[in-house]
A and B are shown apart, each in its own frame.
Chain A
Amino acid sequence: MLRYLTKLNTNIPKRLTNRLFHSTTGCHQTIDSKVDDGNLIGRPIYLDAQATTPLDPRVLDSMLPYLTSYYGNPHSRTHTYGWETEKAVEVAREQIANLIGADPKEIIFTSGATESNNIAVKGVGRFYASKKKHVITTQTEHKCVLDSCRALEGEGFTVTYLPVGENGLISLEELEKAMTEETSLVSIMTVNNEIGVRQPMEEIGKLCKAKKIFFHTDAAQAIGKIPIDVQSMNIDLMSISGHKIYGPKGIGALYVRRKPRVRIEALQSGGGQERGLRSGTVPAPLAVGIGMACDIANREMEYDHKWMETLSQRLMDRIYSKLTHVIRNGDPVHSYPGCINLSFAYVEGESLLMALKDVALSSGSACTSASLEPSYVLRAIGADEDLAHSSIRFGMGRFTTLDEIDYAADKCIKHVTRLREMSPLWEMVQEGIDLKTIQWSQH
């Protein structure tokens, strides 16, 4: 580890000085053969679409009028300034509703999926707390759902954290077994942010409906990317994020079913906006942005999805053709193709990320990427400690090109090969020694 840290120390200042140099000169960078220890100079290519996506120019175009000319408070009822922004916010609400087969009245604007998840989990839990004090979720949920559940536990709730199989999917039998008379809520994410696995929503929804338990899903990574219908999937609450679908950061939405009605205890006190469930002025420009982002996603879902399949196939074909001992984390079929999580055995993930500095990648969730702990999602799917440490998530998006995929794959192949050549473990594996049988002596 020390080796990697010293490497980090020598590399980062160099990168920083490069960047500073470019920003102070202010002019466009000339294309000459500037090479920085074997790497070309330039901004890294972006392959971290699960962390965030760039704002689609069409979305920005729809927002700009509301960031400049139309600045009214959408809740002002007495003048044009309020009316025009209110109308825009309502159009956005409809665009979001259309994407998920809901009624616009069932959409509540929030600051993002984290807030939506908090409102859903704590809000439903607390409202029904006098009768039901049990919540079911999974071990691979996003931190904000897990943390909200912990908060409920502090208030005397019991929470079941369902395990997942090696493919990252929950077992419906176990879910059914966990359900009791006491259960008020099941919260299971649609598409996992780290391994891209898609849970069986239809079946979970059916089960929840039969047992009269509310079903919440964190669909931040799924919305606009795979078809979602709250009616056919029996979803009662759904969290949506703006910046994962080429919309603006700082806005999200929560779908709350009206028939049969889902009651929520609001977390935030205030002016009673958004049916009293989320007080605070709705940021009209951001709402317009997420609305447009949903509208575009709705129209182009099939086109974008095909592109994701093309890109991910290209990435995997290229990597698998040159490297062995590469494991794909998560179910290969029940998953979203724009998120490919690979473990490169006998290579330390952090050192690989460090070597791939001209590709913006992550080993998992952005929330946990600062820590050197292996991802809890990978641990939950039963990945060995060493494999969990060697994982890299390739996040592709609408604006990713084939050239970028080729570049990232080639760089990856080059550095995995190089790092393995330096590894004594790899050498032993090449000689046919099974590492699991070795008795490591203690010093």
Chain B
Amino acid sequence: MASKRQILSLYKCLLNESKKFPSYNFRNYAVRKIKDSFKANRNLSDPSQIMVKMQEAKTNLEIIRRQVMIGQMYSTDKLVIENVHSIRVNL
């Protein structure tokens, strides 16, 4: 059975990796999705179900790691919206 600490550590790992997506849209989606998914499954009590979800999350973590690398290889200029938040020019 997965301990609370293990789940929390996986959650943090997922978030930290996702924040490395160079693409603004992929990064924001990944963070939103991870947070919402953990929230939605917060009340899971069946150990086997928790194990399934943990395994899913581990698979996703591997995907995120690989895709972050690919994203870094083919990154683009930043989106205009990413620059808005750092400069705050009147729209």
Residues of A within 8 A of B (CB): 22, 28-29, 31-33, 35, 39-46, 54, 57-58, 60-61, 303, 358, 398-401, 403-404, 407, 410-411, 414
A401 near B25: Cβ-Cβ < 8 Å? yes
Chain B residues within an 8 Å CB radius of A40: 80, 83-84, 87, 89
Chain A residues within an 8 Å CB radius of B83: 31, 40-42
A399 near B25: Cβ-Cβ < 8 Å? yes
A57 near B71: Cβ-Cβ < 8 Å? yes
Chain A residues within an 8 Å CB radius of B85: 403
Q: State how many angstroms separate the Cβ of B30 from the closest Cβ of chain A.
A: 8
Chain B residues within an 8 Å CB radius of A22: 77
A43 near B84: Cβ-Cβ < 8 Å? no
Give 8 pairs: A residue, B residue, CB < 8 Å, sorted on A: A29-B77, A31-B82, A31-B87, A33-B89, A42-B82, A61-B66, A401-B29, A407-B91
B25 near A46: Cβ-Cβ < 8 Å? yes
Alpha-carbon distance between A144 and B16 when the two chains are bound, in angstroms: 45
Q: Of B64, B70, B78, B81, which contacts A403 at CB under 8 A?
A: B81
Alpha-carbon distance between A29 and B79 when the two chains are bound, in angstroms: 10
Is B63 close to A, CB under 8 A? yes
Chain B residues within an 8 Å CB radius of A400: 25
The answer to whether residues A399 and B28 also contact, given A33-B87, A61-B63 and a CB cut-off of 8 A, is yes
Chain B residues within an 8 Å CB radius of A44: 79-80
The answer to whether residues A43 and B29 also contact, given A31-B83, A33-B87, A303-B36 and a CB cut-off of 8 A, is no
Is B86 close to A, CB under 8 A? yes
Is B3 close to A, CB under 8 A? no
B29 near A398: Cβ-Cβ < 8 Å? yes
Chain A residues within an 8 Å CB radius of B26: 54, 57, 399
Chain B residues within an 8 Å CB radius of A45: 79-81
Q: State how many angstroms separate the Cβ of A293 from the closest Cβ of chain B.
A: 14
Chain B residues within an 8 Å CB radius of A57: 21, 26, 63-64, 67, 70-71
Alpha-carbon distance between A404 and B28 when the two chains are bound, in angstroms: 11
Q: State how many angstroms separate the Cβ of B42 from the closest Cβ of chain A.
A: 15
Chain B residues within an 8 Å CB radius of A58: 60, 63, 67
A31 near B91: Cβ-Cβ < 8 Å? no
B86 near A42: Cβ-Cβ < 8 Å? no
Alpha-carbon distance between A41 and B18 when the two chains are bound, in angstroms: 25
Chain A residues within an 8 Å CB radius of B76: 43
List CB contacts (< 8 Å) of B39-91 with chain A: 60, 63-64, 66-67, 70-71, 75-87, 89, 91
Q: State how many angstroms separate the Cβ of A327 from the closest Cβ of chain B.
A: 24
Q: State how many angstroms separate the Cβ of B70 from the closest Cβ of chain A.
A: 7
Q: Of B21, B64, B67, B79, which contacts A42 at CB under 8 A?
A: B79
Chain A residues within an 8 Å CB radius of B36: 303
